[in-house]
Structure 1
């Protein structure tokens, strides 16, 4: 590899790890196998599994990999922001640590960003090991009526766009935060992720602010990326669930017109935290069964 001082990446890939497990190795290897000129910033939120350090040793001669170690768990958005401040590419790819990236997928996302007018953020369809798309790849803003429809599985327009997943480029209100490609200038103009989210809903927030800023959020439906189950979510389900519900409340307060009505806001607050409490016993049982 060329010396780091003379190497100019086209894209800067950012991965946040937090006890992400063995899948992190596969993710990093898949990124470094791509032929697009890139740099990879792996920022670790105080993992105790030793995997980030092992990755650093395995790739110590690869100038494309930069390791950043945090002394504590900063959360997802704050970690991305700190890594982004050290990037040199004009395009950022935010990638979950349990995703596998292929060169063809990366190139397609870059082509969309380059060719589509006012493209501010491009997502992909994330799939499980059987190739089944995650419905969260193609989403709407989680305003109260949609969130209720999704939560209680009742009729009406929910947060996830139902029906067959698109296999072509479409405009979206929000895409999955597992794979997000965007111009660095847009990310910086938005001041990155809102750091008052710790984990979950910060991607919905970012998509909304991209659109509010006059750019387009796009889903490249013909790009399919394998996405596993996060190690942090499996090991600490109640912790993750708490921050997910906390993120829901913050998004509601920032963007939902219903939040301007105190009585509705109170009902939503009670509903969110009641839902969190109800989920705890099942999460603990599943965690203990593993």
Structure 2
């Protein structure tokens, strides 16, 4: 792009105005802790919880529990709009200078947002900042720090052959570093840049919209930065556990859309056809195992019931 939106210099972390956006979709009781921790942060100007037609009753319980909390707005969709479309809908209502898009299974520490804002302020032309998301044992998710999933990289990763892969590999950085892509479980952006880019591409329903946004931030002349010393607990999403095939379908669909949009290899029709076949063959191979694990989990839950 030839022109860039002006990004105001970030204010001191204590004076920052941040709108937190959380999308829920049968995310489970852990969502309550996620919301509680975010609301406790002084830098949070508002929290917009947007629900994609959950049936678990948790968003309603949160609305009742925080009915006198002026910073919280709960938005109920009557259908599952998808992750990106829901974020965009909430962002149109947001009024903070910065947006923090947060997964419902991420738990912020008291200093998380202060440190992320400091990284945004300290790095010239930083347009998007992510953190290292970790499981309960503190093991970082490789998706926290990765490259664009170009075809040759994806093949190197899949076939475990030498050469540059999608994952960076090795230990996670312990300081802020420039990245091609970070995990969409937690991203901090100036509101002006998010609006300038049109938010998330709504053609992605679930998965890969974060890769798309990181790429468009870089294509617009800004930097994607990983705050390597900021660790955030990221649990297993309720939607992924309860609807694994549904989630996997949209993940593979998102992979195909990203490839068609950004990978030069997609300009070669025979190669593009092979990639399409490979993506959907990979999906088909995963379905039996996903269904088996889901049935086994249901059986275990029944056996454990009193």
Establish whether TM, by shorter chain, passes 0.5. yes
Partner of 2:129: 122
Q: TM-score, normalised by structure 2?
A: 0.91
Tell me the CA shift for residue 9 of structure 1.
Answer: 7.3
Map of 2:235 onto structure 1: 228
SS at match of 1:67: strand
CA distance in 2, matches of 1:160, 1:30: 30
- Aligned residue number for residue 152 of structure 1: 159
Q: Hey, what does 2:4 align to over in structure 1? A: none
Does 2:74 match 1:61?
no
Asked if structure 2 preserves the Cα contact closer than 8 Å seen for 1:122 and 1:180, the reply is: yes
Matching of residue 199 in structure 1 with residue 199 in structure 2: no
C-alpha RMSD of the superposition: 1.0
CA distance in 2, matches of 1:136, 1:100: 17
Query: Is 1:240–2:247 an aligned residue pair?
Result: yes
1:74-113, aligned counterparts within 5 Å? 74-113=81-120
Q: TM-score, normalised by structure 1?
A: 0.96
Q: By how many angstroms is 1:273 displaced? A: 0.3
Contact 2:116-2:227 at 8 Å conserved across structures: yes
User: What is the match of residue 288 of structure 1?
Assistant: 295
Q: Tell me the residue number matched to 2:8.
A: none
| Contact map agreement 1:9 1:39 (CA 8 A) in 2 | no
Q: Distance in 1 between matches of 2:166 and 2:281?
A: 20
Q: Does 1:263 align with 2:270?
A: yes
Deviations 1:144-188 (A, max 9, x none): 011112223332221111011001010000000001000000000
SS in 2 for 1:222: strand
Unaligned runs of 5+ in 1: 1-7
Structure 1 residue runs of 4 or more that deviate by more than 4 Å after TM superposition: none
Counterpart residue number, 1:4? none
Among residues 176, 183, 194, which one is paired with 1:176 in the alignment?
Answer: 183
Q: Distance in 1 between matches of 2:189 and 2:171?
A: 25
Q: Does 1:253 align with 2:252?
A: no
The superposition leaves residues 219-238 of structure 1 with CA deviations (integer Å, 9 ceiling, x where unpaired) of: 00000000000000000000
| Residue 198 (structure 1) shift | 0.3
CA–CA distance in structure 2, aligned partners of residues 248 and 35 of structure 1: 37
User: Within the alignment, does 1:27 sit opposite 2:34 as a pair?
Assistant: yes
CA distance in 1, matches of 2:146, 2:271: 23
Change (3 A) 1:37 1:98: closer
SS in 1 for 2:111: helix
**Cα displacement (A) at 1:37:** 4.0
